[in-house]
Amino acid sequence: MSQLRIGVILGSTRPGRNGDAVAQWVIDRAADRDASYELIDLADYPLPHLDEAIPPSMGQYSNEHTKRWAAKIAGYDGFVFVTPEYNHSTSGVLKNAIDYLYAEWNNKAAAFVSYGSLGGARAIEHLRAVCSELQIAHVRQQLSFSLFTDFEGFSAFQPAALHEASAVTLFDQLEAWAGALKPLRG
């Protein structure tokens, strides 16, 4: 089996976002894994509010920005969604990016890393439901960073040491599921 490719999707495009540091922390922790982890920054994929006339499940994309996004996502075996929590949910830009596609997500695995005042747990709960609909197998282990304890002054990311072991468990689970699902995709 070829090496697994995992996309770490940075789910915020907000100016001054905390997500840059969180996503980089994930990438750094995954550097010595057998799988290849690559950053996918939604700021590099500016997608207008969903503007495809035909539902994504039909796979008939008409816009170049959709085709570019589909080509990017199609090549991965799994994902780590790095999400802020906004208004008890994930960011609008991440939800919109997910909604653009269908088959490119199917039979792949996902893990979740969140940050917010309550660690972003509510954003993860919403993403779990969305991923289930898209046939993405999501793993149990998640990482939730609190703005109160894992960020100095609510902006300088300094995660507690306890997250290190949790990250290893997250990667182990994600890679196991991504590998197990790979034969389903041919």
> pLDDT of 71-129, one tens digit each?
999 999 999 999 999 999 999 999 999 999 999 999 999 999 999 999 999 999 999 99
For residue 114, list its beta bridge partners: 83, 144
Distance in angstroms (rounded) separating the CA atoms of residues 130 and 28: 27
Q: What is the DSSP string of 50-90?
A: ---SS-GGG----SHHHHHHHHHHHT-SEEEEEEE-BTTB-
Which residue range is the domain that position 46 belongs to? 5-185
Predicted local distance difference test score (pLDDT) of residue 1: 54
Closest CA to 142 of 160, 117, 125: 125
- Does residue 148 have a pLDDT over 70? yes
Beta-carbon contacts of 161 under 8 Å, excluding residues fewer than 6 positions away, are none
Interval 138-159 mean pLDDT = 97
Number of domains in the chain: 1
3-state DSSP call for residue 15?
A: coil
- pLDDT at position 21 is 98
pTM of the model: 0.97
Q: How far apart are CA 71 and CA 58, in angstroms?
A: 16
pLDDT confidence bin for 40, thresholds 50/70/90: very high
Closest CA to 32 of 186, 183, 167: 167
Tell me the pLDDT of the chain averaged across its residues: 97
Phi, psi torsion values for 59, nearest 5 degrees: 70, 25
Name the residue among 43, 39, 38 with its Cα closest to residue 14: 43
Give the pLDDT of residue 17.
Answer: 95
CATH of the domain at 94: 3.40.50.360
Residue with tokens 């902006």: 155
CB atoms within 10 A of CB 155: 11
What pLDDT, on the 0 to 100 scale, is given for residue 186? 77
